[in-house]
A and B are shown apart, each in its own frame.
Chain A
């Protein structure tokens, strides 16, 4: 206890994430609490939402008690952020209970949502339960484009109403603008929606195959021509980021963890490598002993063989989870991501 050993130091979150990465603490964890969704998005990675929910998916969803067990396990492992997702997380009748439980364990409950089910009453319940933050996906700037993507009428106005309620409540609110083939021409308008409301936003081009192997999701990916337009357009700085450190490793199975609605444990919710199921083994046991998770933790940069010899690595934004979903090879190369990296490289070289 001296001035050389201060009680307090304030750091960027990044430093804690680095510690968690090094020591395999799932600081940022995501739980799918339902497969039910009020939208039928054509890019959904869960399953083809134009049809009914597959019986196995419907029947194998975690019970409320099991979700509590997962939260307990994550608390024991040192998680700080617990992100609830789905399906549509706000469609779960237990969401407020989960949020309150996470808060009671001194962890940070957050939510990924489309916002459309967050009416005044729901918003109050979420905030009163202790919700720490929300990330809302935005799919377009007009009702026509929104409906084309979500399959639901008036889905833009209901989503915006949810966003406005959350903003008014003071909860930490972020927007993920999901860019796809049929909304990319509305990027300016989508950014304007965020700017008008003084909302932080990020842009995402990522569309993957579905976890159930059904086809169609990637038909939403932007074309090469559209990507070139983005790189030359008014928002090019969002897409021209460089990977100067030639980084290829993700936070999977180290500082992040994902638990599917059926209780499968993944190295990340975006990398559906089944590493155990909480119906058979406790989450803590799976996290510590799963051979799949340990294999990922032991991957070295040199194991990304195609990346090691790639001329475009400094222009590449690969995510191992997405590459795994699309190709089945966690350390491999996705032709679409490769093509985008090459386009970025060629344009920046001119």
Chain B
């Protein structure tokens, strides 16, 4: 599976406890990520494999691998639904 990578031409900033993502293709709307979402978002550089991301999540949030897998898949599905992931060919795991 391709390493998850953020789509081009998105902007994002930490705003209080959340991270806001701005997609200028969608006028006047921003996406807010919670703490874990922001953490995963920072790892979606295209450099990290799914297992890298899982290992980081398990280590830093003290959760089991099964929960981490489910959370990561759910998060990536949300990113895809909102067209926030780069869909061009990237590095494969």
Contact = CB atoms under 8 A, between A and B. Distances in A.
A79 B14 CA distance: 9
Interface of B: 8-16, 20, 22, 24-25, 27-34, 36-37, 40, 61, 63, 67, 71, 74-75, 78, 82
Contacts of A130: 8-9
B78 to A, nearest CB: 5
A172 B25 contact: yes
A106 B30 contact: no
Contact of A7 (B20, B36, B63): B36
Contacts, number: 85
Interface stretch (A15-23, A153-161, A294-302, A333-341): A15-23
A106 B33 contact: no
Contact of A16 (B30, B36, B71): B30
Contacts of A72: none
A42 to B, nearest CB: 32
Given A1-B36, A8-B78, A9-B32, A80 B9 contact: no
A8 B15 CA distance: 14
A13 interface: yes
Given A1-B67, A80-B20, A8 B37 contact: yes
Given A13-B28, A13-B30, A130-B9, A7 B40 contact: yes
A133 interface: yes
B56 to A, nearest CB: 14
Interface string A17-37: 001100101010000000000
A107 B36 CA distance: 21
Contacts of A25: 15
A268 B78 CA distance: 36
A211 to B, nearest CB: 30
A130 B11 CA distance: 11
Nearest to B27: A172
B13 to A, nearest CB: 5
A27 B20 CA distance: 11
Interface string A221-243: 00000000000000000000000
B82 A11 contact: no
A169 to B, nearest CB: 12
Nearest to A75: B13
A1 B14 contact: no
Nearest to B6: A106
Contacts of A15: 30
A107 B21 CA distance: 10
A80 B78 CA distance: 22
